Amino acid sequence: MENTQKRVGVIGGVRIPFCRNNTAYADVGNFGMSVKVLGALVERFGLHGVELGEVAMGAVIKHSSDWNLAREALLSSGLAPTTPGITTARACGTSLDNTIIIANKIAAGQIEAGIAGGSDTTSDVPIVYGARLRKRLLAMNRAKTPLDKLKVALRGFSLGELKPSFPGVAEPRTGKSMGDHCEQMAKEWHIAREAQDQLALDSHHKLAAAYDAGFFEDLLVPFRGLRRDGFLRPDSSLEKLAALKPAFDKSSGHGTLTAGNSTGLSDGAAAVLLGSDAWAAQRGLKVQAYLRDAEVAAVDFVHGEGLLMAPTIAVPRMLARHGLSLQDFDYYEIHEAFAAQVLCTLRAWESADYCKQRLGLDAPLGSIDPAKLNVHGSSLAVGHPFAATGARIVATLAKLLEQRGSGRGLISICTAGGMGVTAILER
Question: What are the residue numbers of the active site?
Answer: 92, 384, 414
The answer to whether 385 touches 269, Cβ cutoff 8 Å, is yes
The verdict on residue 282 lying in a domain is no
3-state secondary structure of 316: helix
As for how many domains the chain has, the answer is: 1
The verdict on residue 311 lying in a domain is yes
Report DSSP state, residue 338. B
The answer to whether 411 touches 395, Cβ cutoff 8 Å, is no
In order, the DSSP letters of 232-251 are --TT--HHHHHTSPBSS--S
Task: Please give the angle made by the CA atoms of 176, 177 and 182, to the nearest 5 degrees.
Answer: 100
The verdict on residue 194 lying in a domain is yes
Q: How far is CA 351 from CA 198, 345, 366, in A?
A: 22, 10, 8
Burial of 404 (0-12, 13-18, 19+ CB in 10 A): middle
Comparing CA positions, the residue from 71, 97, 101, 99 lying closest to residue 85 is 71
The answer to whether 305 touches 423, Cβ cutoff 8 Å, is no
Look up the pTM and report it. Answer: 0.94
| Helix or strand holding residue 74 (H, E) | helix 69-74
Grouped pLDDT means (10 residues each) for the chain, 427 residues: 80 98 95 98 98 97 88 98 97 97 98 98 85 90 93 90 78 95 98 98 98 98 97 96 96 95 96 98 98 98 97 98 98 98 98 98 98 98 98 98 98 98 98
Q: How far is CA 60 from CA 168, 303, 386, in A?
A: 12, 25, 7
The verdict on residue 204 lying in a domain is yes
Buried-exposed string 180-216: b where 16+ CB fall within 10 A, e elsewhere: bbbbbbbeebebebebbbbbbbbbbbbbbebbeeebb
- Cα(125)–Cα(121) distance, integer angstroms: 7
- Cα(394)–Cα(95) distance, integer angstroms: 9
User: Inter-axis angle of helices 339-350 and 311-322, to 10 degrees?
Assistant: 50
pLDDT value of residue 168: 67
The verdict on residue 314 lying in a domain is yes
Burial of 108 (0-12, 13-18, 19+ CB in 10 A): exposed
The verdict on residue 184 lying in a domain is yes
- The radius of gyration of the chain's CA atoms, rounded to the nearest angstrom, is 22
The verdict on residue 341 lying in a domain is yes
| CB neighbourhood size of 376 (10 A) | 23
In this structure, what CATH number is given to the domain that contains residue 368? Answer: 3.40.47.10
- Cα(329)–Cα(364) distance, integer angstroms: 17
Structural domain boundaries, residue 380 = 178-215+292-426
End-to-end Cα spacing for the chain? 26
- Cα(298)–Cα(333) distance, integer angstroms: 19
How many angstroms separate the most distant Cα atoms in the chain?
Answer: 75
| CB neighbourhood size of 420 (10 A) | 25
In degrees to the nearest 10, what's the CA dihedral of 398, 400, 404, 408?
-60
pLDDT value of residue 363: 97
Strand partners, 13: 272
Query: Which amino acid, 132?
Result: R
The verdict on residue 132 lying in a domain is no
Comparing CA positions, the residue from 114, 72, 80, 111 lying closest to residue 95 is 114
| Distance, C-alpha 278 to centroid of its chain | 29
Q: How far is CA 16 from CA 24, 37, 41, 149, 404, in A?
A: 11, 7, 11, 47, 24
pLDDT value of residue 1: 41
